[in-house]
Chains A and B, each alone.
Chain A
């Protein structure tokens, strides 16, 4: 029905497009400041050590150095879940842990100062493997934790949170299965989302308690909330977020970079800018969680999953900010994708001496799915079942339900995604290409082609809360007041679209405030594909409220008893029963404006869905894998922004998505704890020279969300692909491949062409 709309579903140039293509966009590091100082971090060379002594005297004497902070004089700021991570600590827990921070007049003076700080360490034994970390006698990272295990409650989710999936009777489920498969499956190559713009912040602390923060971030209100928790409620925090050069979730964890700058600003009284280098971003910022399940599944001949049982180990590195939430969401997403009555999945979150894992697109569910689907595949192989049919059958259907992240049961009120899956399969040519388990689709000389399929869905499309105001000014222009950063999805432009659509005005007349917590109300920010339902939902409600208020003013002028008798377009209001009778907005809004308010409250009864089909070619001589083709299929309810949606779906390759099964991995040296590929040359990334063909199938079945019936899907495009690649590669070479990524070494080893030990990544 897109044709009835003026803007929804239409290609509308991004309002920030001109600035982007002319270099006018001011990212964090481009903002001008007066009296700016620069900050840098001295980092630990040891994965686990206690600082015996730290001498900053020489560094302090360097001209241009303005402040040096160590664990001895740092404010008592801590965070994490539980909040046991100090901004600077006497103990360091990974290679790259902050040891001291320096503010100086230039970045190069900072660098020189770092070299002059003398630190003596007492090196402690370190542990990098999650299973070893849980053993008795393993090095312990924190006094507060036993066995390096973190509590499982996601305290931010309210009074309850999902900490496991235990329901039904798994023994009975296994007994009724026609096939049972078990084993150990991991997705533990800890790839890095690497948004192109590194994390960074400028902070100005004005004593005693006023703090202004400019930060590259995807969230405004939530970031202010986090900093207020850290600094204390008495501190007035103002957060300003401009354009963000990518995040993929990761920059939500920017508390440390902001607190370093804040501590240095507090110490100097001047604004301080601290931006990570690319190497710091890769070695000291956010990795994907490491996942391993030791699991068992039962399946019937018709593809019904009868039971899922096992342990799920989540490796979080040296601390957790949100791993408990990822666990909770991951559990719910597993129930959405696997309609089994019987579950006994017991998670654990383990700390090790490496950089921390955290928020990345796919948020727990991608990690779990990447391990679970290979396990399910073993059962499918035993029963000779087509994985497309099994995944389709097991994805949530109307009438089903699930425990979501708050451990509450929700009855699903969304659609059956089977038609979208069928359409995707048709476009991909699945029926022709699927030849059976461990059978290639085609072989040409040393090149073997295989296909695979994966799936993901998420009930966070309606997560959390948000508010917006829509102000209609007396010049007829409209201002959306909402705390929103533009981090690449085009979300800010989409708020203009929906407001223009509701109020029937030219989109040029609509603008949105900068994301500034001094101005903008509560808004959770982009997460879990909530933008389309939640963020736009609040704007729609605010625009409707503003329109109602406008009509209340206009009604007496038009002799109407009831605002419902009116309609408007292009800043003219008329009586529906007599369109000749009209007033202009200007006349109604003489020397006044109206302000509408809209709120979105969480709704966990809907889920999105993405299925990805991949075709890979494996060279059985060299072991190299090429992704030839990807078909993503989904149903978006109603497309809001066709080009923006395409961008989100093409994003399946990047930000630790499909390529985390092809070549992306973080390589940790188990003897030193160092990350060996913490730069953009050694960390492999997709280039235009090797682009697979991508086709995106997007159906539009109206969804029970808001008046435009749309549902968000952007976040999850990275999630179905990795397990699909593993499946496709296994089929191509006729041997199971169960480790990510599918490197040439792993292929050749599976083919018996090398005996050498697998170099591997994380372990």
Chain B
């Protein structure tokens, strides 16, 4: 079998991962969420349905929201990935305004959906820094939250708009 490598940039760090089986490698059947969580130890990305239904595993790929449980890592060669761990300023620890706004509005209850919610919202603000409330609701409509944090989430996102980077 030909040796093969996957290049991934995750939260500004470059990873060269060998394709194959065993610790630290990328199995062809590994999902991106598996690689992030199990291989790179970035457990901030949450799994709930592991089947493309709940949005809990949302990360940014080249700035756009994707479901990391529905992508094979081998399809992501050369991509730039941002996870929830990559939103705050790596040097100062300062939170992204979106993250701060979630804290200010207590836009979570159990917090399990929160990383996915924030990443979906971040993707929206990347594309549209001043969305309407209806646009925010539409952008977050793929994110399951069983505690019903939605109202406080929408408020937090609206409050962060314009301040988003």
Complex: A26 Cα to B109 Cα, angstroms:
15
List A contacts of B161 (CB < 8 A): none
In B136-155, the 8 Å CB interface with A consists of 136-138, 140-154
> Given known contacts A278-B51, A680-B49, is B106 in contact with A647 (CB within 8 Å)?
yes
Tell yes or no: A441 within 8 A of B by CB: no
In A637-669, the 8 Å CB interface with B consists of 643-644, 646-648, 650-655
Tell yes or no: B104 within 8 A of A by CB: yes
Interface SS, A side: loop
Q: Find out whether the CB atom of B114 lies under 8 angstroms from the CB atom of A647.
A: no
List A contacts of B136 (CB < 8 A): 688
Interface pairs (30), CB distance under 8 Å: A11-B106, A14-B106, A14-B108, A18-B103, A21-B95, A21-B108, A23-B43, A23-B115, A24-B44, A27-B46, A30-B37, A195-B110, A243-B110, A244-B110, A246-B110, A488-B110, A644-B109, A647-B106, A647-B147, A647-B148, A650-B151, A654-B146, A654-B148, A679-B51, A680-B53, A688-B138, A688-B140, A688-B141, A689-B138, A694-B151
Q: Find out whether the CB atom of A245 lies under 8 angstroms from the CB atom of B53.
A: no
Q: Find out whether the CB atom of B84 lies under 8 angstroms from the CB atom of A23.
A: yes
Tell yes or no: A22 within 8 A of B by CB: yes
Tell yes or no: B75 within 8 A of A by CB: no
Q: Find out whether the CB atom of A23 lies under 8 angstroms from the CB atom of B45.
A: yes
Least Cβ–Cβ distance between A20 and chain B, in angstroms: 4
Query: Which of B42, B53, B88 interacts with A681 by CB under 8 Å?
Result: B53
Q: Mark A231-269, 1 if CB is under 8 A from B, else 0.
A: 000000000000111101000000000000000000000
In B60-82, the 8 Å CB interface with A consists of none
Least Cβ–Cβ distance between A244 and chain B, in angstroms: 6
Tell yes or no: A685 within 8 A of B by CB: yes
**CB-based nearest A residue for B88:** A22
**CB-based nearest B residue for A658:** B148
Complex: A250 Cα to B84 Cα, angstroms:
28
In B83-104, the 8 Å CB interface with A consists of 83-85, 87-88, 95, 99-100, 102-104
List B contacts of A14 (CB < 8 A): 103, 106, 108
**CB-based nearest B residue for A682:** B53
Would you list the 8 A-B pairs with minimal beta carbon distance, nearest first?
A23-B44, A245-B112, A488-B110, A488-B109, A23-B84, A20-B111, A30-B43, A643-B106
Q: Which residues of B contact A (CB under 8 A)?
A: 29, 37, 41-51, 53-54, 56, 83-85, 87-88, 95, 99-100, 102-106, 108-115, 118, 136-138, 140-154
**CB-based nearest B residue for A24:** B44
Least Cβ–Cβ distance between B142 and chain A, in angstroms: 7
List A contacts of B142 (CB < 8 A): 687
List A contacts of B151 (CB < 8 A): 646, 650, 691, 694
Least Cβ–Cβ distance between A381 and chain B, in angstroms: 32
Complex: A687 Cα to B111 Cα, angstroms:
17
List A contacts of B153 (CB < 8 A): 688
Interface residues on A, range: 35 or more
Complex: A26 Cα to B43 Cα, angstroms:
8
> Given known contacts A27-B112, A197-B112, is B103 in contact with A679 (CB within 8 Å)?
no
> Given known contacts A16-B111, A21-B114, A680-B54, is B148 in contact with A278 (CB within 8 Å)?
no
Complex: A490 Cα to B106 Cα, angstroms:
9
Q: Mark A153-196, 1 if CB is under 8 A from B, else 0.
A: 00000000000000000000000000000000000000001111
List A contacts of B104 (CB < 8 A): 13
Tell yes or no: A340 within 8 A of B by CB: no
Complex: A609 Cα to B110 Cα, angstroms:
24
Q: Find out whether the CB atom of A20 lies under 8 angstroms from the CB atom of B143.
A: no
Q: Find out whether the CB atom of A651 lies under 8 angstroms from the CB atom of B109.
A: yes
Tell yes or no: A712 within 8 A of B by CB: no
Tell yes or no: A489 within 8 A of B by CB: yes
Tell yes or no: A198 within 8 A of B by CB: yes
Q: Find out whether the CB atom of A197 lies under 8 angstroms from the CB atom of B150.
A: no
Q: Find out whether the CB atom of A688 lies under 8 angstroms from the CB atom of B56.
A: no
Least Cβ–Cβ distance between B13 and chain A, in angstroms: 15
**CB-based nearest A residue for B29:** A108
Query: Which of A17, A246, A486 interacts with B103 by CB under 8 Å?
Result: A17
Least Cβ–Cβ distance between B63 and chain A, in angstroms: 18
Q: Find out whether the CB atom of A196 lies under 8 angstroms from the CB atom of B113.
A: yes
List A contacts of B100 (CB < 8 A): 21
Complex: A679 Cα to B37 Cα, angstroms:
22
Tell yes or no: A504 within 8 A of B by CB: no
The winner among A20, A643, A646 for most chain B CB atoms within 10 A is A20
Complex: A25 Cα to B113 Cα, angstroms:
12
List A contacts of B37 (CB < 8 A): 30
Complex: A24 Cα to B154 Cα, angstroms:
22
Complex: A278 Cα to B153 Cα, angstroms:
24
The winner among B54, B83, B136, B146 for most chain A CB atoms within 10 A is B146
Complex: A669 Cα to B81 Cα, angstroms:
42
Complex: A193 Cα to B148 Cα, angstroms:
12
Q: Find out whether the CB atom of A278 lies under 8 angstroms from the CB atom of B145.
A: no
Q: Find out whether the CB atom of A691 lies under 8 angstroms from the CB atom of B150.
A: yes
List A contacts of B46 (CB < 8 A): 27, 196-197, 245
**CB-based nearest B residue for A16:** B111
List A contacts of B149 (CB < 8 A): 647, 650
**CB-based nearest A residue for B114:** A20
